[in-house]
Structure 1
């Protein structure tokens, strides 16, 4: 907590300014081409603030409008992901009636509608039931298998160890470990690596 994970992510997606350097997404500078960068990413924050006066379907259509998704493509994507996350019967309900987990699901569905090249998630598994977590992991793998990438922060070290090809550990805003998961972990667990670095002054 307080290491700088969320702040870094908010810089990457254009919510926070940064003092120096640049961020490149799909070969484009975020400073020079912020709109082009945002077109190819999807961001799900750790505590999504969404328009609770809308129904789930209205919210998804609003996001689809922003990305200029055709009627045919959006209907196909909304149905596909709503069925995977068991939200198809809740799309006509107001978001204000949703549980924490349902709000997380609707925001995840909205992130997948425009088929992002880079999916950025901040603590994405919080509030999700086991079935939804399983589906999310599969979707993340699918995006990577199609040539995209997923960047996500998590405190669930077992998930990171089993899911990620590359890992970066941040402490007090500083990178203390970075690289391929296998090379960082070796014969230990990610939890052991984390605790070892956490207690180093």
Structure 2
């Protein structure tokens, strides 16, 4: 279980995250939704210790993140919001680096690595430098690295971005299987269909504030006869401004 209590992150006068309080149970796929700049990545980067909060606490299975950071990090794997890292390494070298960071031997990871490489169609490219990869291939390489040690908690920042339909389908199935084992998946997304398809619970953020937490079904029940898109835009964004649309259409017609 992950417990976030009044988590706040400020950069000077700007508040990126304001007193976020959430409980994320084991055995769930938990989604973070919101527009760009809503606080999704800030939340994730706090959870994986890339940044430190201005105030607030995070506990993971009873371990305080601030006081027991290394023990918490060993429970977590992470996919960042961009795959453009360690590009000077081949995919195999990158995966060896990840395995070493989690203190796993070659024997311990070999079978799982082969399965993941085959699943994501990377077999012919494992010894090529990641700088030569397309965006989608880099995303697959980073995903394989994150899933390789298979810790209890997966934290994935926009993990489906850049993946082809087959890879996206396979990753969704892996996420479901991980949660079905009583483990935890936390991921951010802009895609409402993906959230509705995958999430047991979700949090919607707007300008660093939590504005909803619960299931998609509960959200739809609170707003009968409305689509998820309409509900989300009413809460987190703005509905289309008709006069702006008319003006843009007029420019196009001209």
Asked whether the 8 Å contact 2:99–2:148 carries over to 1, the reply is yes
Gaps of 5+ in 2: 1-35, 240-254
Match of 2:184 among 149, 152, 156: 149
Aligned partners of 1:185 and 1:149: how far apart in 2? 24
- Greater fraction of residues in strand: 2
Match of 1:173 among 202, 208, 215: 208
Asked whether the 8 Å contact 2:84–2:138 carries over to 1, the reply is no
Aligned partners of 1:52 and 1:177: how far apart in 2? 38
2:114 equivalent to 1:79: yes
Q: Could you tell me the TM-score, scaled by structure 2's length?
A: 0.76
Higher normalized contact order (CA 8 Å, seq sep 6+, divided by chain length): 2
Asked whether the 8 Å contact 1:5–1:170 carries over to 2, the reply is yes
Deviations 1:87-116 (A, max 9, x none): 111101111111000000000000111112
Aligned partners of 1:27 and 1:129: how far apart in 2? 38
Structure 1 counterpart of 2:15: none
Aligned partners of 1:50 and 1:78: how far apart in 2? 19
Give the 5 Å matches for 1:95-174.
95-174=130-209
Give the 5 Å matches for 1:13-52.
13-52=48-87
Aligned partners of 1:165 and 1:29: how far apart in 2? 25
Aligned partners of 1:51 and 1:99: how far apart in 2? 14
Gaps of 5+ in 1: none
Give the 5 Å matches for 1:183-194.
183-186=218-221, 187=224, 188-194=226-232
Aligned partners of 1:80 and 1:73: how far apart in 2? 13
Q: Could you tell me the TM-score, scaled by structure 1's length?
A: 0.95
Residue 55 of structure 2: SS of its match in structure 1? Answer: coil
Residue 21 of structure 1: SS of its match in structure 2? Answer: strand
Aligned partners of 1:153 and 1:54: how far apart in 2? 27
